[in-house]
Structures are given as structure tokens and as C-alpha cells.
Amino acid sequence: MESDVVISVQEVVKTFPRADGTPARVLDGVTFDVHRGETIVVMGGSGCGKSTLLNCLIGELPVDGGRILYHTARMPSSRDISGMSESELNELRKHLGILFQSGALFNSMSVADNIALPIREHSSVPARLIETIVTLKLEQVRMLEHRDKMPSQLSGGQKKRVGLARATALDPEILFYDEPSAGLDPVTSAAIDELIMDLSKKLLVTSVVVTHEMDSAFRIADRMVMLDRGRVLKVGSRADFEALRNAPPDTLTRHEERLMNQFLNGYGRGPLTDATGTSEFERLITAG
């Protein structure tokens, strides 16, 4: 494992049982590295395994094969997440921040209490200092005037901002984003992207973003990973993927390249879909 690699995903396999009891491979030998300080975007169509991969990365789902090695500043020797006990996993999670798709704010708590909770529970910081940290975090996401509101009083974009403030409450080394722009209008989506880039620079965190919003992905990514039906099609720099996106489809010779070109451009016709517009994945699902 290279010294600047903070997460090394090695041949990860995850299966779920189908309705008839047979296993379906949702992740099939996924391999890539996440380097310190970079923003890496994992993308792919609906059902390609992005969210499952994220859940495996944060220890929410156990993997069925392969390894996910963490090598954070507070964890000097690399450790496989699947070999960690619950308390070791919790210790690791204190150094990770996660922005969930819906924000996942605690609805019974105010905005300020949502951010204060992890600090209060995992540190011995005095109450007055916690207030200051909460103010700082809310300023970072430009939500200070909403500190006393309840989550039900916030819009979708505001919930994500507060979720982001909560994710950074303990100054994590790695931030995970699950579909940060999903369900947002283009302007709010762009604002969230700017916030992600801004936080990455200011907090010097490593960011792993799972998304299928191409505009957002190309705005924030240093490197990209393309998944298709649980397999990694390509890992490369943003420039590599931009070149692939801008290439005329008839100049691409490899099936995978044509497939990625279609996805990156959002074409209705191509190797991902047939004449009826049904995706290969949808056909597989329908076929059971």
C-alpha cells in the first residue's frame, strides 16, 4: 500500500440473495485506491453498486470477499475494515464524515444540536466551546441564521448543508458523500458542489463522492471511478474521463469505452440501452 493511499479497495465482492435464494453479485472484484487529499468520484448508473460500495466503505455492510484497507493519520498501519471489532470500527468512524443522500438529520433535534451531538458524545469539550464550534461549522456551510430551526423547517438543499456541517463536526480526515446533488435544482446543486470543493481545500480532507450527476462529478473530481454492474470499468483522472466524454462515439473501438461515452454524455441510444430505451441493467433485473 503506497504511503499516500488512505483507502485501498482490493477485489471487493458483495452479494445479496435474490428472491429465489441464489446470490446476486452486486460488487464483483472492485479495486481502486483513494489518495490523501484528493476528491474521488465514484459514478455509474442506477443499481450499479455505488451505494453498496459506499456502505461497505463506511463499515455499514460487511464485504463477502476482498479487503478495504484504511491508512489514516490516526491509524499508522493499514487495517482491513472487515477485521475490525465494533469498537475499532467506531474509533475509525470518529475520523470519517458522511453526508447522506437526504441529509439524515435527527428530526427531534434543532440544527445546532444535530451538529453538537457528535462533539458532545466524543469529546470532553466544554459546552461553551461546543457552541463556538457549532457556530463555526454553520458559518462554513452558510447556515448560521438557521441554527435554532428544526430539520422539518429546512429545504432539501439546506438539510444537506446542515448534514455537511454535522459530517465535519469532528474534523474528519475522510469525507464520504452519498449523491450530494440528488433531488436538488441545478443552482442548489452547483452551490453544494462549491461547498464540497471549498471544504476540501479548507479542511484538507480526502473526499469520496458517490454520484450519477455528471455535471457535478466533473466539477468536483480530481479522479473518477466508473462502475458498471458491480465491476470497475475505469479509474482515471478527470482529464481522462473528459477526453472519453468528448470523443465521438464512432471513434471508440472498445465496448467499455462506448459504454462509458454513452453514460458520460447521457445519450439515450448506445451499448447501455437497446432500441426500446431499456438499460441492460433493467433487463437483467426484470429477468431476475
Partner 1 sequence: MADSPSSGSPVPPGSRLRTAVEAVGEAVLAVGRRGAATVRFAGEMTVVLGETARWIARSLLRPGVRFRRDALAAQMVRVGVRSIGIVALVQVFIGIILVLQLAPTLESYGQIEQVATVVAIATVRELGPLITAIVLSGFAGASIAAEIGAMKETEEIKALRAHALSPYHFLIMPRFLATVIMLGGLAVIADVVGVFGGFMTSWLVLDIPPQTYLDITQAALDPTDYLTGLFKAGVFGVLIALIACCEGLNVTGGAEGVGLATTSTVVKSIVALIGVDAVFTTVFYVLGI
Q: Please give the residue ranges that form the binding site for partner 1 (CB under 8 A).
A: 58, 60, 89-91, 93-94, 96, 98, 100-102, 104-107, 117-118, 121-122, 166, 170
Nearest distance from residue 136's CB to partner 1, in Å?
Answer: 18
Decide whether 32 or 100 has the Cβ nearer to partner 1. Answer: 100
CB of 230 closer than 8 Å to CB of 30: yes
CA distance 2 to 18: 38
Nearest distance from residue 62's CB to partner 1, in Å?
Answer: 13
Nearest distance from residue 106's CB to partner 1, in Å?
Answer: 6
Decide whether 81 or 226 has the Cβ nearer to partner 1. Answer: 81
Nearest distance from residue 246's CB to partner 1, in Å?
Answer: 36
Q: Starting at the edge strand that comes first in sequence, how are the strands of the sheet with 5-17 ordered?
A: 23-35, 5-17, 65-70, 79-80
Nearest distance from residue 235's CB to partner 1, in Å?
Answer: 25
H-helix or E-strand spanning residue 133: helix 127-140
Nearest distance from residue 86's CB to partner 1, in Å?
Answer: 9
Buried b (16+ CB within 10 A) or exposed e, 35-72: ebebbbbbbbbebbbbbbbbbbbbbebebbebbbbbbb
CB of 182 closer than 8 Å to CB of 14: no
Decide whether 71 or 166 has the Cβ nearer to partner 1. Answer: 166
Cell of 117: 451531538
Question: For residue 182, how many other CB atoms are within 10 A of its CB?
Answer: 16
Decide whether 92 or 224 has the Cβ nearer to partner 1. Answer: 92
Burial of 175 by CB count in 10 Å (0-12 exposed, 13-18 middle, 19+ buried)?
A: buried
Question: For residue 169, how many other CB atoms are within 10 A of its CB?
Answer: 22
Decide whether 15 or 55 has the Cβ nearer to partner 1. Answer: 55
Decide whether 87 or 276 has the Cβ nearer to partner 1. Answer: 87
